[in-house]
Structure 1
């Protein structure tokens, strides 16, 4: 993962990331499949700042209370934190 953070800090990431250099890895989660990783990334990107901070701080029990709307955390119903 440190190689990926290094790539981002060289400006080799998405435009969003390039505008916010330097970046620092504050949370990570390993998945078995790449599509799960992309799904999780998109899910977290859609979260509020408060919910992302709770994730970074390890306050997993707070996550459901910080969810937007009544349908849960994801439009597809996937929840990686149960």
Structure 2
């Protein structure tokens, strides 16, 4: 899948890998396009700060898994 429009891996990024434990790491959705979605297929946690509920996706690897490209595109079309 290397050099595909669905996948790229930026090993030169100073944060790479930003999540541990993934064999193939897709950097295409480095900033998750589903962050603003109330319901997403990832595993976000929520923290309370200044009386506000804030979505924390730092442990979520869903957008970095190459096989999830089609799922993400489907969600964005909705």
| TM-score, normalization by structure 2 | 0.28
Higher strand share goes to which structure? 2
Higher helix share goes to which structure? 1
| TM-score, normalization by structure 1 | 0.27
